[in-house]
């Protein structure tokens, strides 16, 4: 399962366009909200995409840019902090899952 997740994340972050899938997927954060990984380029550098957090009430917390490297989502948050998150806890969006099925 982990290798399938890794392959899917790698394929979607390098091939899909924002018109096909806007939200790649999510994972829970410590505030019982979510970390939302998108395929939106925004002001992120080449190969990176927009990521943001939500609180348990849905409020937007912080923005940043992420890149997928070796089974990890590396995030540089706009407050200057950097974290890595394993793809194990990653939940694909319905649109991303549809795209994965179409590419099989």
What whole-number distance in Å separates Cα of residue 46 and Cα of residue 28? 26
Residue 80 is classified by DSSP as: S
CA 70 to chain centre: 14
Q: What is the mean pLDDT of residues 31-46?
A: 88
What's the pLDDT tens digit per position in 39-91?
A: 888 888 888 899 999 988 888 899 999 998 888 899 999 999 999 998 888 88
Domain boundaries, the chain: 2-96
Helix count and strand count (H, E) for the chain: 2, 7
Q: In what order do the strands lie in the sheet with 82-86?
A: 82-86, 72-77, 60-69, 49-54, 34-38, 23-28, 91-92
């Amino acid at each position: 399962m982990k290798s399938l997740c890794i392959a899917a994340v790698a394929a979607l972050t390098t091939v899909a366009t924002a018109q096909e899938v806007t939200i790649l997927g999510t994972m829970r954060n410590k505030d019982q909200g979510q970390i939302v990984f998108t395929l939106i380029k925004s002001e992120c550098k080449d190969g990176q995409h927009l990521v943001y957090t939500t609180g348990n009430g849905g409020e937007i917390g912080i923005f940043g840019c992420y890149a997928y490297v070796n089974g990890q989502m590396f995030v540089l948050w706009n407050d200057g902090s950097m974290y890595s998150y394993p793809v194990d806890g990653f939940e694909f969006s319905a649109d991303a899952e549809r795209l994965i099925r179409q590419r099989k």
